[in-house]
């Protein structure tokens, strides 16, 4: 290194040192120094000028210089092995779109299609798969994206066109009819529907579609993709297109967004504590702490930080499309092997955090998420304690009761073994199906071996050791706990006696102090709130079904009021009005279609959309009733077709 450059580096004047290195022709050193100074754009340019395109491309992406990345791309593709290594690196850090472009450029079509799908570009992924002869996979990719974005017209048009090309005319029409009339793709959808109606012999439908198409300007040329829709969603921070609000609290809002620069879905967590009275300073401190923690952690089982926006302030995180562990537990039982796999992944993330002096302090199912590939990720480090682990952190009221260690609940110091307790509480819930109770002597009244036939005293002892009341009796750290769990065999089957008990005949009579039987079979009167409720037996399929209805949360779906585990019952609101006696009006169909889209987005098909399950209430609105869990043949398309028959 040039002596003058070296002197500036010792003085921590990195930018000046890099600029001097450029002036003296040492571009590789300049690139390294610019990177150390976090000036990624200039680091990328210096690398390009030095002829190091594989280094320049990821640096350009880090510096948000798409043009420079595009300039580097063809040079990287000149060496296939080099391009493949860089694609793997970009995939690891979440730049799926650029990884896909590299893989496609070197002819690796199937890996490229998977990367495009992870980047949220199901259209390109489908085109690659279809050109490779895997039509089923191409359709599956488009169907998955249509479920995630049920109102995105270009995806529905692409799926409808694909189905038409391979003779699935009925399914194509159902898909194309879902394209909203307000979108620019409606014209393309109608263009495709005309020949489809001819094939099906539906002349009246064809006449109506042709009339609508003429009003929009006539058919469009389908040989090339139509125009992309004009963005109508709002943007935050000039870059992130808002899809929906996922959650909110007094201190923060979480938005699902689309990053137009990186072409991927992200979660934008915006601090809102300054808008609240009292506690705002503490909430902001927790938000800053999460920024600091995530900035120092790089682990495959921790939710990745994509960006920090100081003017928000806001965190931009990788989007976890697989939902939370809390949602999965509510929907279906987890095999012991999968439960341990999830727990060991969480412990691996905790071990890395502990190694860097960070205690999480709020390990719970709601903070465990899953990405597109089903990989377990630990998130929400907002209450984490930073510092020397030879010291301890006073917990106060930080954390979530039930998963919080005894020492935290009592205000005693929290240590790494407090996080081990939280992981143990989650594992216990996954194995037994029961949430941890606070302040109850029988919190652990059910042992895992009493629920799973293939578990024994060894498994019980280890789980109970993780949940020991005294911290000293628990495994000494997360890595040791992870090894102990891995040393035991855990079955990958559901042999649960608890499910057998749920399926056995059992009274579903609610507490007589609150409900009394009405004259209608299955209907009870809630004396406390003076309302009628429908009571169903609680079993695993009904619980999963009720969870999906609750997540959908649409007023045209029968409301789930309560899951009463003590009496093994699910309470549903009883809609007013009577059963459907005539054809549905257009407004009623529109509302029910919205409700079904919400239910499908929650991962559930209704499977019984018929007159027996539609009630018209006193206000004239249609309500779709809860129905038993459908069989494997139920699909969103069949739900929409059944709804069309009622109109």
CATH 1.10.510.10 is right for the domain spanning 527-647: yes
DSSP-assigned beta bridge partners for residue 515: 526
Structure-model confidence comparison of residues 87 and 552, the more confident one: 87
Percent with pLDDT over 70 in the chain:
84
169-176 vs 153-165: helix axis angle to the nearest 10? Answer: 170
Q: What pLDDT, on the 0 to 100 scale, is given for residue 388?
A: 39
Q: What superfamily would CATH give domain 325-500?
A: Transferase(Phosphotransferase) domain 1 (1.10.510.10)
> Same topology for domains 325-500 and 527-647, yes or no?
yes
Q: What pLDDT, on the 0 to 100 scale, is given for residue 241?
A: 86
Of the ranges 325-339, 520-534, 543-557, 558-572, the best mean pLDDT one = 325-339
What pLDDT band is residue 554 in, cutting at 50, 70 and 90? confident
For the ranges 123-137, 218-232, 520-534, the lowest mean pLDDT is seen at: 218-232
Give me the phi and psi of 487, to 5 degrees please.
-80, -15
Answer whether residue 275 shows pLDDT above 60.
no
Answer whether residue 227 shows pLDDT above 50.
no
- Is the overall model pTM greater than 0.85, yes or no? no
Q: What pLDDT, on the 0 to 100 scale, is given for residue 183?
A: 84
DSSP-assigned beta bridge partners for residue 358: 386
User: What is the rounded CA–CA span in Å between residue 528 and residue 120?
Assistant: 48
Element at 524 (helix H, strand E): strand 523-526
Class of domain 3-215: mainly alpha
Q: What pLDDT, on the 0 to 100 scale, is given for residue 250?
A: 56
For the ranges 93-97, 196-200, 248-252, 361-365, the lowest mean pLDDT is seen at: 248-252
Give me the phi and psi of 269, to 5 degrees please.
-105, 110
Per-residue tokens: 310? 């100081």
User: What is the rounded CA–CA span in Å between residue 524 and residue 539?
Assistant: 19
Taken in order 243, 63, 89, 102, the sign of the CA dihedral is positive
The residues spanned by each domain of the chain are 3-215, 235-318, 325-500, 527-647
What pLDDT band is residue 529 in, cutting at 50, 70 and 90? low
Per-residue tokens: 331? 């929907």
Q: What pLDDT, on the 0 to 100 scale, is given for residue 3?
A: 86
Give me the phi and psi of 211, to 5 degrees please.
-65, -45
For the ranges 102-106, 238-242, 317-321, 393-397, the lowest mean pLDDT is seen at: 393-397
When the candidates are 3.30.200.20, 3.30.70.100, 3.40.50.1820, 2.60.40.1120, the CATH number that belongs to 235-318 is 3.30.200.20
Answer whether residue 78 shows pLDDT above 60.
yes
Average pLDDT, the chain: 80
Q: What pLDDT, on the 0 to 100 scale, is given for residue 391?
A: 36
Q: What pLDDT, on the 0 to 100 scale, is given for residue 504?
A: 38
| 3-state DSSP assignment of residue 525 | strand
Per-residue tokens: 197? 């109606």
Contacts of 237 (CB under 8 A, 6+ apart): 268, 309, 311, 312, 314
Per-residue tokens: 106? 């070197």
Q: What pLDDT, on the 0 to 100 scale, is given for residue 453?
A: 82
Answer whether residue 219 shows pLDDT above 50.
yes
Q: What pLDDT, on the 0 to 100 scale, is given for residue 283?
A: 52
Give me the phi and psi of 338, to 5 degrees please.
-70, -40
For the ranges 181-195, 420-434, 548-562, the lowest mean pLDDT is seen at: 548-562
Q: Which of 311, 316, 197 lies closest to 258 in space, CA to CA? A: 316
Q: Which of 80, 29, 31, 26 lies closest to 58 in space, CA to CA? A: 31
Q: What pLDDT, on the 0 to 100 scale, is given for residue 545?
A: 82
3-state SS string for 241-289: EEEEEEEECCCEEEEEEEECCCCEEEEEEEECHHHCCCCHHHHHHHHHH
């Amino acid at each position: 290194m040039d002596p003058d450059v070296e002197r500036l580096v010792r003085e921590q004047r990195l930018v000046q040192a890099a600029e001097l290195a450029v002036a003296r022709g040492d571009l590789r050193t300049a690139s390294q120094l610019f990177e150390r100074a976090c000036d990624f754009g200039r680091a990328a340019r210096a690398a390009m000028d030095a002829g190091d395109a594989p280094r320049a491309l990821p640096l350009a992406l880090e510096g948000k210089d798409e043009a420079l990345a595009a300039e580097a791309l063809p040079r990287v593709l000149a060496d296939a092995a080099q391009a493949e290594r860089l694609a793997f690196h970009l995939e690891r850090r979440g730049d799926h779109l650029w990884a896909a472009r590299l893989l496609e450029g070197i002819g690796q079509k199937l890996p490229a299609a998977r990367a495009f799908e992870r980047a949220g570009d199901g259209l390109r992924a489908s085109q690659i798969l279809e050109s490779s002869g895997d039509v089923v996979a191409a359709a599956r990719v488009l169907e998955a994206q249509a479920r995630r974005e049920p109102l995105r017209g270009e995806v529905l048009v692409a799926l409808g066109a694909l189905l038409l090309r391979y003779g699935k005319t009925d399914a194509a029409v159902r898909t194309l009819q879902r394209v909203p009339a307000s979108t620019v793709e409606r014209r393309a959808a109608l263009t495709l529907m005309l020949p489809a109606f001819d094939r099906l012999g539906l002349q009246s439908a064809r006449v109506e579609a042709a009339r609508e198409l003429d009003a929009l300007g006539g058919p469009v040329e389908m040989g090339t993709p139509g125009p992309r829709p004009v963005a109508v969603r709002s943007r935050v921070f000039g870059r992130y297109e808002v899809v929906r609000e996922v959650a909110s609290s007094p201190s923060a809002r979480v938005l699902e967004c689309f990053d137009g620069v990186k072409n991927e879905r992200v979660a934008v967590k915006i601090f809102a504590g300054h808008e609240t009275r009292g506690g705002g300073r503490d909430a902001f401190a927790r938000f800053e702490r999460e920024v600091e923690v995530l900035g120092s952690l790089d682990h495959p089982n921790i939710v990745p930080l994509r960006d920090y926006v100081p003017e928000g302030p806001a965190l931009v995180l990788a989007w976890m499309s697989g939902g939370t562990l809390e949602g999965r537990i509510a929907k279906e039982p987890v095999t012991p092997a999968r439960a341990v796999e999830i727990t060991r992944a969480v412990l691996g993330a905790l071990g890395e955090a502990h190694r860097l002096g960070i205690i999480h302090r709020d390990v719970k199912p709601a903070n465990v998420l899953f990405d597109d590939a089903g990989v377990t990720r630990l998130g929400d480090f907002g209450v984490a304690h930073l510092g020397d682990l030879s010291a301890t952190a006073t917990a106060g009221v930080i954390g979530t009761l039930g998963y919080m260690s005894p020492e935290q609940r009592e205000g005693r110091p929290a240590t790494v073994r407090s996080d081990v307790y939280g992981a143990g509480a989650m594992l216990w819930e996954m194995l037994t199906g029961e949430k941890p109770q606070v302040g109850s002597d029988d919190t652990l009244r059910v042992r895992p071996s009493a629920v799973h036939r293939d578990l024994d005293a060894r498994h019980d002892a280890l789980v109970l050791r993780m949940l020991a009341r005294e911290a000293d009796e628990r495994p000494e750290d997360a890595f040791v706990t992870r090894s102990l769990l891995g040393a035991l065999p855990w079955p990958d089957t559901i042999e649960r006696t608890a499910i057998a008990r749920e399926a056995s005949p059992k009274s579903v009579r609610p507490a007589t102090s609150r409900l009394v039987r009405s004259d209608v079979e299955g209907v009870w009167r809630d004396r406390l709130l003076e309302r009628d409720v429908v009571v169903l037996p609680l079993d695993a399929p009904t619980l999963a079904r009720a969870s999906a209805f609750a997540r959908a949360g649409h007023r045209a779906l029968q409301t789930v009021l309560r899951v009463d585990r003590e009496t093994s019952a699910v309470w549903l609101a009883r809609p007013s009005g009577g059963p459907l006696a005539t054809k549905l009006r257009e407004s009623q169909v529109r509302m029910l279609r919205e409700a079904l889209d919400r239910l499908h987005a929650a991962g559930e098909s209704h499977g019984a959309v018929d007159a027996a399950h539609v009630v018209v209430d006193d206000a004239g609105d249609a309500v779709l009733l809860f129905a038993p869990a459908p069989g494997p043949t139920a699909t969103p398309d069949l739900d929409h077709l059944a709804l069309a028959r009622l109109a």
